[in-house]
Structure 1
């Protein structure tokens, strides 16, 4: 199935809980939420419609690694990328599986992430895409559309979080 990205919003009054126990904010079956499956069912039919409201959940499929690369601070611009915090992390591989990466982003952190992420435009993505190559073998135009679509979803999600004074917990896994 592959490693995917899921983020769940939380209200400011749940910030302490989100820090102490981030898994309590996450769904017990995020793929079911993202794909419209019956949670925890061994056999289910996917509707491919996200179950959770878009203001409460961000699903980035496998594009998280591209967004991680796009927003990563570099030696040229070490201070850039406060929005990188939203995509940073990787799973810990072991045996036949992995342990997911989980991070809490507090409501006070969201405005800076929003400002940084929403400043990224299509021209910047096109420039970055010239040097980045997907491991999934998609052609350049399809890959660019894929990254831009999910970037816009992420931008909308953090804009809503900031407007509502909410934070998020994300899982890469």
Structure 2
């Protein structure tokens, strides 16, 4: 495993991967960041494709990531993370809607929110697109200000598309 640090408009990002797949993307001072000792050897030239695609995303030129991913988590967590990846660029849903999309009972919303918060590959697996039931920004491991930044970055393109139809 190797990790690289890269700058972004929302602060330093740590990219962790093994072989050709990304297994972690962590924000500086975010919640649920593993100990750096688990990241392997530091190589800031590592993960060039992930760095390139993130640069395009932050420049407003990329809407979908194609970097191979290998997230580690329980079967339930991986199922939630797969559902997150299906939320289209520039769109949002609530934790309740995400729970329903997974075919789970409404009582599972806390478990879904917990798995969402433990997403190890933020931004690329877009956990920032999930909102509270009333539309409020809640529960983002990178902090609410970063969540707002990411949503604002995506929103202009989505609004422009709506005007075209």
- TM-score (normalised: structure 2): 0.26
Greater relative CO, 1 or 2 (CA 8 Å, sep 6+): 1
- TM-score (normalised: structure 1): 0.25
